Amino acid sequence: MKKQITELVQNRYSPMIFEDRKVSEETMNQLITAATLAASSYNAQPWRFIWAEKGSEDYAKLRSLLSEYNQTWTATAPILMLTLSLHIDDKGRQNYFSLYDLGQAVSSMAIQAVSIGLQLHQMGGFDMDMARKITKMPDTYLPGAMIAIGYPGDKSQLTGHFLERANEPRVRLSVDKVSGDTGMFNTN
Ligand SMILES: Cc1cc2nc3c(=O)[nH]c(=O)nc-3n(C[C@H](O)[C@H](O)[C@H](O)COP(=O)(O)O)c2cc1C
């Protein structure tokens, strides 16, 4: 069955190390364009992307939001991104699906990335309150995940925990476990 899954999906993974190679503005544009082609409830397109290139002041600001763990392994990431969703629109209406839609957009971005040799590594481990402060994010937005983006590096250069993690087999719940009919929650 695995063979029948498109290679773009099979080959997506979250790298722990990136090549020392710039990601061009044009490539970033391509990734974000792919994200914007995702479906969204009422076509509200509630996704927003704040990103910066390694070496810039903005990159340092985004990096400072990350947990210590994530700061360590993202040291090689050429691009850091903070994703947001607009969960209250300009008429004050709550969009229940805003984070759902943002996730779909990031998934499109991830698949596009694989198709041109890049990978994304999403992170929930960051300071959301600080993210609000440093970006002056209005309350109508919710921070989504942060993302490290780049050309994946040689994992044999990793050491210790990070090497172990990069070599872990991909473990997934079975299709039987995650799908079923309306009776799937019956315990007997
Ligand atoms: C919303 C979200 C938050 C995540 N947070 C972190 C994180 O803070 N640090 C980290 O190293 N990986 C994080 N990950 C990466 C997951 O651990 C990874 O996607 C998962 O182990 C499956 O591995 P794969 O993406 O290589 O298939 C996150 C992924 C998602 C989607």
Per-residue pLDDT of 14-34, as tens digits, reads 999 999 999 999 999 999 999
Amino acid 1: pLDDT: 72
Sequence-separated (6 or more) residues with CB below 8 Å from residue 4? none
Residue 123 Cα to ligand 1 midpoint, Å, equals: 6
pTM greater than 0.85: yes
List, for residues 145-165, the tens digit of each pLDDT value: 999 999 999 999 999 999 999
For residue 13, give Cα distances in angstroms to 105, 138, 166: 16, 32, 10
- β-partners of residue 51 are 81
Best of 8, 14, 100, 119 for a ligand 1 pocket test (most atoms within 8 Å of beta carbon):
14
User: What are 71's two structure tokens?
Assistant: 């700061």
Among the listed residues 21, 36, 33, the one whose alpha carbon sits nearest the alpha carbon of residue 104: 36
Burial of 117 (0-12, 13-18, 19+ CB in 10 A): exposed
